[in-house]
């Protein structure tokens, strides 16, 4: 097989035969893994396979009316791998494995993009409440031969997982419906329903090691809501803000959809806060020279922080 387009064509043809595209895709992946369907991918890199499956899932999500069926853009995964490698440069230099957790793993696209970029360096855990999404995540992991421990549950309830070196998450955005569970959180809203994205930040801090890093894809308006003062107070108490990175506007269809990368570090008595927070904007990804300058700016900040 030459490229991901050929694999996508095969997956798409089979998925289209089902009444529900995503369920048809899942059945095709399962049959492939069970040896019931012969799909030859000899020589096709893992990242090419991930792209093929991603495009098929994305097509299925566009057909779906489920609001939680959304996929993290590849651009974030690409940038995330750079920031993770920068944050854990010393640990990786010692050939140590990173424990990485995604509490809203979805179909696994973000986590697997990171794992492919850092092949063999990550021990991953994912949590997802949606049954179909986590089944797709499991099938994709098996196709890619990426080791990941998946948990099918509400990530805001008690989790039986070990603290991670790093948390990565495309934060689910909106209100959290289970007000009883929300009462256990510092970021529970004083009145009315709590923001799910705030609670996911707090739960992520709960499940990262002291001194560990958290990498979030956040709405650009995260700090502009009526509950923002409460979030600021929480962050000041528990973490150090390392970076706020604005993503290029051309990635989004409207201002309301724009997102940024928020990098936090959980406080530790053995560490200190950065001298200054890195505030930067990612240039157009097609501009290689500007992108190289952006990466250099991040490296210089890291050396002097």
Q: What is the pLDDT of residues 215-253, one digit of tens each?
A: 999 988 899 888 999 999 999 999 999 999 999 888 777
Query: Which pLDDT does position 29 carry in this prediction?
Result: 86
Q: What is the DSSP string of 40-57?
A: --TT--HHHHHHHHHHHH
43 Rama sector, left if φ>0, alpha if ψ -120 to 50, beta otherwise: left
Q: CATH code for 67-304? A: 3.40.50.150
* pLDDT value, residue 195: 96
The pLDDT of residue 71 is above 70: no
Model confidence over 240-288: pLDDT tens digits? 999 999 998 887 777 777 889 999 999 999 999 999 999 999 998 888 8
Distance set, CA 209 to CA 238, 267, 292, 305 (Å): 12, 9, 31, 21
Q: How would residue 64 be classed by pLDDT, with cut points 50, 70 and 90?
A: low
Radius of gyration of the chain (CA): 19
pLDDT in tens, 193-216: 999 999 999 999 999 999 999 999
- Residue 3: pLDDT over 90: no
User: Is residue 2 very low, low, confident or very high in pLDDT (cuts 50, 70, 90)?
Assistant: low
pLDDT at 73: 63
CA dist., res. 177 & res. 164, Å (int): 27
Kindly list the domain boundaries of the chain, sorted by start residue.
1-65, 67-304
- Structure confidence at residue 69 as a pLDDT band (50, 70, 90): very low
Please work out, in degrees rounded to the nearest 5, the angle formed at the alpha carbon of residue 207 by the alpha carbons of 206 and 211. 85
Does residue 86 contact residue 55 with C-beta atoms inside 8 Å? Answer: no
Per-residue pLDDT of 113-170, as tens digits, reads 999 998 889 999 999 999 999 999 999 999 899 999 999 999 999 999 999 999 999 9
């Amino acid at each position: 097989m030459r490229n991901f387009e050929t694999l996508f064509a095969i997956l798409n043809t089979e998925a289209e035969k089902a009444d529900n595209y995503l369920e048809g895709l899942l059945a095709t992946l399962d049959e492939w893994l069970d040896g019931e369907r012969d799909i030859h991918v000899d020589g096709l890199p893992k990242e090419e396979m991930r792209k093929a499956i991603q495009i098929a899932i994305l097509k299925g999500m566009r057909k779906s009316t489920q609001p939680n069926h959304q996929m993290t853009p590849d651009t974030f995964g690409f940038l995330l791998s750079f920031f993770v490698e920068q944050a854990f440069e010393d640990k990786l230099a010692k050939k140590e494995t990173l424990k990485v957790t995604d509490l809203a793993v979805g179909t696994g696209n973000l986590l697997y993009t990171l794992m492919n970029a850092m092949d063999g360096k990550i021990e991953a855990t994912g949590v997802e409440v949606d049954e179909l999404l986590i089944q797709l995540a499991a099938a994709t992991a098996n196709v890619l031969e990426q080791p990941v421990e998946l948990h099918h549950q509400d990530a805001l309830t008690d989790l039986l997982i070990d603290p991670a070196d790093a948390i990565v998450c495309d934060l689910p955005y909106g209100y959290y419906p289970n007000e009883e569970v929300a009462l256990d959180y510092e970021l529970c809203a004083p009145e009315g329903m709590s923001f799910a994205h705030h609670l996911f930040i707090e739960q992520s801090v709960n499940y990262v090691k002291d001194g560990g890093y958290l990498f979030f894809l956040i709405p650009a308006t995260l700090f502009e809501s009526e509950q923002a003062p409460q979030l600021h107070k929480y962050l000041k108490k528990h973490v150090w803000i390392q970076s706020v990175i604005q993503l290029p506007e051309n990635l989004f269809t409207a201002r309301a959809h724009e997102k940024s990368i928020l990098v936090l570090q959980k406080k530790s008595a053995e560490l200190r806060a950065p001298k200054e927070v890195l505030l930067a904007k990612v240039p157009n990804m097609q501009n290689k020279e500007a992108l190289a300058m952006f990466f250099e700016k991040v490296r210089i900040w890291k050396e002097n922080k």
